[in-house]
Structure 1
Amino acid sequence: MHELSLAESAVGLIEDAARRERFTRVRVVRMEIGALSCVEAEALRFAFESASLGTCAEGARLDIVAVPGEGECAACGIRAAMETLYDLCPRCESRPLRVLRGTELRVRDLDVE
């Protein structure tokens, strides 16, 4: 389950920010997760709860902001929604779309005390 290592990395970023910005507790963590990122939101939520034990993020609510997949066809230029990293162009079916968004995985912001 790679979500645990992702959650541990996020908690490390939060702890670094706490030291730098001098806050002691995090109430809410907002993370962007792209539809094409291969991250299971519920597994990340579970892993975050475990990874945050004993840190300033312990007990924080994890809000997940879903980012849809979107790509562009190099042949015809159409932009289209993507379900997978290998979606073909819906217009010309020439080749997989070039990903424009949907692979994100980032801590967007925090509500802190």
Structure 2
Amino acid sequence: MHEMSIAEGIIQVLEEQAKAQNYQRVKTVWLEIGPLAMIETEALSFCFDAVTRGSLAEGAKLNIINIVGEAFCLQCLKTVPVQKRYDACPECGSHQLQVTQGDEMRIKELEVE
């Protein structure tokens, strides 16, 4: 389960930013996650709750914003929606797709004190 290491990485970023931006507590975290990021959001929420205990984010709410996956088809030259890596283009059936969005996970916003 790599979601535990992802949650630990989030806490590390929060702690680094708390020092840099001088805040004491994190109340809410908004994460953007795409369908191609290969992250189980329920597992990440569980792990986030576990790793925040005793940290500046203890009791913080985790809000996950699901973003859409998109790719550019090199065959039909269209931007198309994708849900999984190696899907065929829904327009022409080609597998020559270049992912343009949806494989990322990032901290979008924080509510802090």
Please give the TM-score of this superposition, normalised by the length of structure 2: 0.95
Where does residue 58 of structure 2 map in the other structure?
Answer: 58
Q: Please list, as runs of the form range in 1=range in 2, the aligned pairs for 1:38-49 lying within 5 A after superposition.
A: 38-49=38-49
Q: How big is the shift at 1:51?
A: 1.0
Letter in 2 for 1:29: V
Where does residue 17 of structure 1 map in the other structure?
Answer: 17
Give % identity. Answer: 41
Unaligned runs of 5+ in 2: none
List structure 1 runs of 4+ shifted beyond 6 angstroms. none
- 2:30 aligned with 1:30: yes
CA contact (8 A) 1:67 1:104 kept: no
Where does residue 2 of structure 1 map in the other structure?
Answer: 2
Larger mean Cα displacement after TM superposition, 96-105 or 8-17 = 96-105
Q: How big is the shift at 1:13?
A: 0.1
* Number of residue pairs the alignment of both structures matches: 113
Distance in 1 separating the partners of 2:4 and 2:94: 37
Q: Please list, as runs of the form range in 1=range in 2, the aligned pairs for 1:83-102 lying within 5 A after superposition.
A: 83-102=83-102
Where does residue 108 of structure 1 map in the other structure?
Answer: 108
Distance in 2 separating the partners of 1:94 and 1:28: 41
Distance in 1 separating the partners of 2:22 and 2:91: 52
Letter in 1 for 2:95: R
Please give the TM-score of this superposition, normalised by the length of structure 1: 0.95
CA contact (8 A) 1:87 1:96 kept: no
Distance in 2 separating the partners of 1:80 and 1:9: 31
Larger mean Cα displacement after TM superposition, 73-82 or 86-95 = 86-95
1:38-69 per-residue CA deviation (whole Å, 9 max, x = no partner) reads: 10111000000111111111100000010111
Distance in 1 separating the partners of 2:80 and 2:102: 12
Task: Name the Cα RMSD after superposition.
Answer: 0.9
